Amino acid sequence: MGSPEHRSELQGDPVSLRVWGPHACFTRPDLKAERHTYDVITPSAARGIFDAIYWTCGMRWRIDRIWVERPVRYLGVRRAELKHTISAKYAEAARKRNSTLGVAMEAGEDRQQRGATILRDVSYVLEGTILQEDVHGGESRLLKHQAIFRRRARRGQCFHQPYLGVREFPAAFAPADSPPVLHPDLAGEHHLGWMLYDIRFGRPNRPVFFNAVMCDGLIDLTSCVLDGERP
CATH code of residue 69: 3.30.70.2660
Provide mean pLDDT across the span 56-80.
92
- Give the pLDDT of residue 3: 47
Residue 231 lies in a domain: no
**Buried b / exposed e along 93-130 (16+ C-beta atoms within 10 A):** ebeeeeeeeeeeeeeeeeeeeeebbbbeebbbbbbbbb
Residue 126 lies in a domain: yes
**How far, in Å, CA of 126 to CA of 88, rounded?**
34
The verdict on residue 92 lying in a domain is no
Query: Is 196 inside any structural domain?
Result: yes
Asked if the model's pLDDT at residue 110 lies above 70, the reply is: no
Cα 63 from Cα 69, distance rounded (Å) = 17
Q: How many structural domains does the chain have?
A: 1
Q: Residue 37 sits in which domain range? A: 9-78+117-220
Residue 44 in any domain: the answer is yes
Which of 68-72, 90-94, 177-181 has the largest mean confidence? 68-72
State residue 99's pLDDT score.
72
State residue 18's pLDDT score: 98
pLDDT of residue 5: 45
> Residue 28: pLDDT above 70?
yes
The Cα–Cα gap between 213 and 201 comes to 26
In a domain, 83, yes or no: no
Confidence at residue 229, expressed as pLDDT on a 0 to 100 scale: 46
In a domain, 102, yes or no: no
| Tens of pLDDT, residues 3-23 | 444 557 889 899 999 999 999
Residue 58 included in any domain = yes
Return the pLDDT at 164. 98
pLDDT band of residue 104 (cuts 50, 70, 90) is low
Pick 30 or 24 by higher pLDDT: 24
HSE on the CB side for 116, CA within 13 Å?
23
What's the pTM value of the predicted model, to 2 decimals?
A: 0.82
Pick 117 or 89 by higher pLDDT.
117
Query: Is it the case that residue 102 has pLDDT exceeding 50?
Result: yes
